Chain A
């Protein structure tokens, strides 16, 4: 697996990733591709994963790296990760990350998931997200910061502004193309 190529195939970002803010938007917060990206990065260097939407399936990562290394244990140890389950915890997790110098890329999985929680007032979600994005901007001066998120579901339409704020903050933004509308398959004439 050649990391540069893979990153490029997975997400159309320039490689090797420079210290910038990359945003990828797609269904399921592009879980599969992001885990592939994490695998590709971890094969080369130490890196940090902040899981904001319970998407860090490390079994999948272990399977992905296995064909490319004789020492999967060391590669799995290259991944430093933490999970947060509320937007208050997400901010605290990013604050904790920002307190220490970073040595490798930072990947945030499904960043907006907890900010859509209807038990949290939109105003509070916005405030916490703004703090988080400020810190991520600072971190992006040191290391590449790759963020994934999913489109805002229709039941949380009033929170679209959060995605807009996230997009506005990104240096590079890529959105997964929408699936083509179903077209009726027509049986070709056999005779």
Chain B
């Protein structure tokens, strides 16, 4: 037998292989080729329970094909004080492990299982330290089997050496759910091409050739999951034209079932997903955070979480954090529970009231304020978790002081992530804004930010393997403590605190309008809290808005303002909502932009006049039917099965239209519609019917426009009642004057 040969390359894809264990695809670092190797990968899972049942299980499994070994071990369960007795079951391959686990769980459902349902990528990372796009050195035998593998770079590298990825973008020329697509548009670093969808299927032949010649690593599609790939496969079959989407030619496309789930207070629908073997398919429309961090962020997410690229693009950051925590646990030789059974510790009614609280909110002083600084703690909750060593298995801190010196699973997971994000942010600051790396770094920082954002919520999530409600409460308690300390410092320094919201403070002081005026305050807060606070910016002006229902009541986190840099910040307004029609959101944004042109109080009066004139024009356009219907589409949602609705909302009426037209409507799905005159009063946009501007119910949109404008204008002296009266009658003279708290 010949000696194993060496190979160096980046790991692109890894998946189960029924015969040999695993298939791994690499991009060669030597000749740019794409190579697949196999690897045997025995895996172990653990079972605990009454000894007589474990004995019966041991008898059942002894000598069984696929079981490599059975042993009795002691392992640490994070929720138990002492190590637990477990039976370790070593299986020859991951596929056999999955089969056996299903079988014994059926027979012994009351046993406690550990490490039984782990993703293969997670196991692989924990054993070899190898992750998606890791540069690896391998030893491969003559049968193409990996004998040794190690990563030569780390998940935490700020500027890692990355492979020369071939990315092919592909999509139809229009929204295929509204219009018939006539052309496929293809684009990559080498060419751009339009393929007319012809009845003979020549476009399929050309596409197949492109896939073979260009041989992309990543297919970035539009509507790939829900339309493009099913369409291409159907057409190829009907026309008997070969089309090889996978790089692994032995495989067909793998379909992940559609799903509806509950996340952060929202019902989310995810359509069926098309997964490829040997190359990755990312559908922009299904990629959860594509608009936030694009491809660079998705690849960063895959690298740090070790989730396969296709999965990292589609799942929530919570799943990424979960995978990272599992790796930490495996690296620490801590058991990974299959079903978490840990419930909340018993407490009294009084203790529940004292502990079950959220972040600190200090209601804003409503109205318009000038020269206000916003200071934010950098990743406050993750920093508290790390500083306070908050983890389910370690004693909880007293305020911010850790009760245990060895970091638990959760802070151990977060620390390198937090440090990497800070390092990337520092790197961004070290480059000029137009540096070619800046965009890439910003997208990667955004991906890491999302992972850090969800880590706190995940501590309290019912299915989080390393979640514990008391730990979740300890974080918010720490947050409240930190914010109160910051407020104390600000007031000692003579600042007025206008608003506080979880991890941010809005402060002002007469004569303070430059960054250096806030340096001492920031320094003192950093010292008093042990966390890092940062000057987000100084507003030329900021308007804190009251409740719509009762103008005497302020609303936290509903404000807009303009920084000295000219950057506009908006929170809690229509322009930020996903269901607001594009045109209404654009009008509101433009109104704020026109107001933001005022550089001083003196210039404000003129800007208010211009803003109101703009509103007047917008209103006229709307009333005269000159706004295109596609700009008025409302992005509604159905959260339940349609028959469960007792009241028929506009979204539900539109959803029924889709259902009656034979389309599938699932809970969590977005339902786009426009308001129309007469009956029916809504039209589902995805029915694909043409609609004339005159059929649009403009009075509904006038209401929406008034609502949007009345969020912006009241701080400048124009009340909602006045605006409504004027908008609906169009005749009264308004006195346009702002009231500014200087």
Chain B binds chain A: yes
Contact A61-B344, Cβ < 8 Å, known A154-B641, A155-B640, A155-B644: no
B350 with A77: CB separation less than 8 A: yes
B462 with A85: CB separation less than 8 A: yes
B462 with A86: CB separation less than 8 A: yes
Contact of B463 among A62, A86, A91 (CB under 8 A): A86
> Which B residues touch A61, using CB under 8 A?
349
Closest beta carbon of chain A to B50's beta carbon, Å:
14
Cα separation A42 to B348 with both chains bound (whole Å): 11
Contact A155-B342, Cβ < 8 Å, known A73-B350, A83-B469: no
Beta-carbon contacts of A62-76 to B below 8 Å, as 1s and 0s? Answer: 100000000001001
B343 with A96: CB separation less than 8 A: yes
> Which A residues touch B342, using CB under 8 A?
89, 92
A76 with B350: CB separation less than 8 A: yes
B353 with A62: CB separation less than 8 A: yes
A28 within 8 A of B: no
> Which A residues touch B110, using CB under 8 A?
127
A82 with B344: CB separation less than 8 A: yes
Cα separation A89 to B469 with both chains bound (whole Å): 12
A16 within 8 A of B: no
Cα separation A129 to B345 with both chains bound (whole Å): 21
Beta-carbon contacts of A38-80 to B below 8 Å, as 1s and 0s? Answer: 0000100000010000001011011000000000010011111
Contact of B353 among A76, A85, A124, A155 (CB under 8 A): A76
Cα separation A85 to B467 with both chains bound (whole Å): 11
B189 within 8 A of A: no
A58 with B109: CB separation less than 8 A: no
> Which A residues touch B578, using CB under 8 A?
none
A89 with B343: CB separation less than 8 A: yes
> Which A residues touch B667, using CB under 8 A?
155
Contact A92-B341, Cβ < 8 Å, known A58-B352, A61-B349, A76-B350: yes
B352 with A84: CB separation less than 8 A: no
Chain A interface residue bracket vs B = 20 to 34
Contact of A58 among B353, B462, B643 (CB under 8 A): B353
B343 with A154: CB separation less than 8 A: no
Contact of B348 among A76, A85, A89, A90 (CB under 8 A): A76
Contact A77-B348, Cβ < 8 Å, known A86-B463, A88-B339: yes
A135 within 8 A of B: no
> Which A residues touch B350, using CB under 8 A?
58, 73, 76-77
A81 with B343: CB separation less than 8 A: no
Chain B: CB-nearest residue to A74 = B350
Contact A92-B348, Cβ < 8 Å, known A153-B644, A154-B644, A155-B644: no
Cα separation A58 to B462 with both chains bound (whole Å): 20
A173 within 8 A of B: no
Chain B: CB-nearest residue to A49 = B349
B191 within 8 A of A: no
Contact A81-B347, Cβ < 8 Å, known A59-B353, A76-B353: yes
Chain A: CB-nearest residue to B106 = A123
Cα separation A42 to B350 with both chains bound (whole Å): 12
> Which B residues touch A11, using CB under 8 A?
none
> Which A residues touch B264, using CB under 8 A?
none
Dominant secondary structure of chain B at its interface with chain A? loop
Cα separation A76 to B640 with both chains bound (whole Å): 37
Cα separation A12 to B160 with both chains bound (whole Å): 69
A83 with B353: CB separation less than 8 A: no
B343 with A77: CB separation less than 8 A: no
Closest beta carbon of chain B to A172's beta carbon, Å:
26
Contact A84-B643, Cβ < 8 Å, known A76-B348, A127-B109: no
> Which A residues touch B346, using CB under 8 A?
80-82, 96
Most chain A Cβ neighbours within 10 Å, of B342, B345, B346: B346
Cα separation A55 to B348 with both chains bound (whole Å): 15
A58 with B343: CB separation less than 8 A: no
Chain B: CB-nearest residue to A38 = B349
A92 with B343: CB separation less than 8 A: yes
Chain B: CB-nearest residue to A73 = B350
Q: What is the interface size of chain B, counting residues whose CB is below 8 A from a CB of the partner? A: 25
Chain A: CB-nearest residue to B462 = A85
> Which A residues touch B463, using CB under 8 A?
86
B462 with A81: CB separation less than 8 A: no
B449 within 8 A of A: no
Chain B: CB-nearest residue to A48 = B346
Cα separation A91 to B348 with both chains bound (whole Å): 20
Cα separation A85 to B339 with both chains bound (whole Å): 12
B340 within 8 A of A: yes
Contact A89-B341, Cβ < 8 Å, known A81-B347, A83-B469: yes
Chain A: CB-nearest residue to B345 = A82
Cα separation A86 to B337 with both chains bound (whole Å): 14
Cα separation A153 to B356 with both chains bound (whole Å): 29
B644 with A81: CB separation less than 8 A: no
Contact of B349 among A81, A88, A90, A124 (CB under 8 A): A81
Closest beta carbon of chain B to A174's beta carbon, Å:
24
> Which B residues touch A92, using CB under 8 A?
341-343
A93 within 8 A of B: yes
A81 with B353: CB separation less than 8 A: no
Chain B: CB-nearest residue to A77 = B348
Most chain A Cβ neighbours within 10 Å, of B342, B349, B463, B644: B349
> Which B residues touch A79, using CB under 8 A?
348-349
Beta-carbon contacts of B458-492 to A below 8 Å, as 1s and 0s? Answer: 00001100000100000000000000000000000
A76 with B339: CB separation less than 8 A: no
Most chain A Cβ neighbours within 10 Å, of B342, B343, B667: B343
User: In chain B, residues 170-202, which have Cβ atoms closer than 8 Å to a Cβ of chain A?
Assistant: none
Closest beta carbon of chain A to B251's beta carbon, Å:
28
Chain A: CB-nearest residue to B260 = A118
Chain B: CB-nearest residue to A52 = B343
Cα separation A127 to B111 with both chains bound (whole Å): 13
> Which B residues touch A83, using CB under 8 A?
343-344, 469
Chain B: CB-nearest residue to A118 = B260
Contact A93-B353, Cβ < 8 Å, known A81-B348, A124-B109: no
User: In chain B, residues 328-363, which have Cβ atoms closer than 8 Å to a Cβ of chain A?
Assistant: 339-350, 352-353, 356
> Which B residues touch A58, using CB under 8 A?
349-350, 352-353, 356
Most chain A Cβ neighbours within 10 Å, of B339, B345, B640: B339
Contact of B344 among A84, A91, A155 (CB under 8 A): A84
A76 with B343: CB separation less than 8 A: no
> Which A residues touch B109, using CB under 8 A?
124, 127
A88 with B341: CB separation less than 8 A: yes
Closest beta carbon of chain A to B692's beta carbon, Å:
38
Closest beta carbon of chain A to B102's beta carbon, Å:
11
Closest beta carbon of chain B to A134's beta carbon, Å:
13
> Which B residues touch A155, using CB under 8 A?
640-641, 644, 667
Cα separation A42 to B352 with both chains bound (whole Å): 15
> Which A residues touch B339, using CB under 8 A?
86, 88
Beta-carbon contacts of A90-102 to B below 8 Å, as 1s and 0s? Answer: 1111001000000
Cα separation A9 to B401 with both chains bound (whole Å): 49
Closest beta carbon of chain B to A11's beta carbon, Å:
20
Beta-carbon contacts of A159-189 to B below 8 Å, as 1s and 0s? Answer: 0000000000000000000000000000000
B341 with A56: CB separation less than 8 A: no
Contact A82-B641, Cβ < 8 Å, known A56-B352, A62-B353, A89-B341: no
Contact A77-B341, Cβ < 8 Å, known A86-B463, A154-B644: no
Closest beta carbon of chain B to A52's beta carbon, Å:
10
Contact A81-B341, Cβ < 8 Å, known A86-B462, A154-B644, A155-B640: no
Across the A-B interface, give the 5 residue pairs with the lowest CB-CB distance, nearest first.
A85-B462, A79-B349, A76-B350, A76-B349, A89-B343
28 cross-chain CB contacts under 8 A: A56-B352, A58-B356, A61-B349, A62-B353, A73-B350, A76-B353, A77-B349, A78-B348, A78-B349, A80-B348, A81-B346, A81-B347, A81-B349, A81-B352, A83-B469, A84-B344, A85-B343, A85-B462, A86-B340, A86-B463, A88-B340, A89-B343, A89-B462, A90-B343, A93-B344, A96-B346, A127-B110, A154-B641
Known: A86-B463, A127-B109. 12 other contacts (CB 8 A): A58-B356, A62-B353, A77-B350, A81-B346, A81-B352, A82-B347, A84-B343, A84-B344, A86-B339, A89-B343, A92-B342, A155-B640
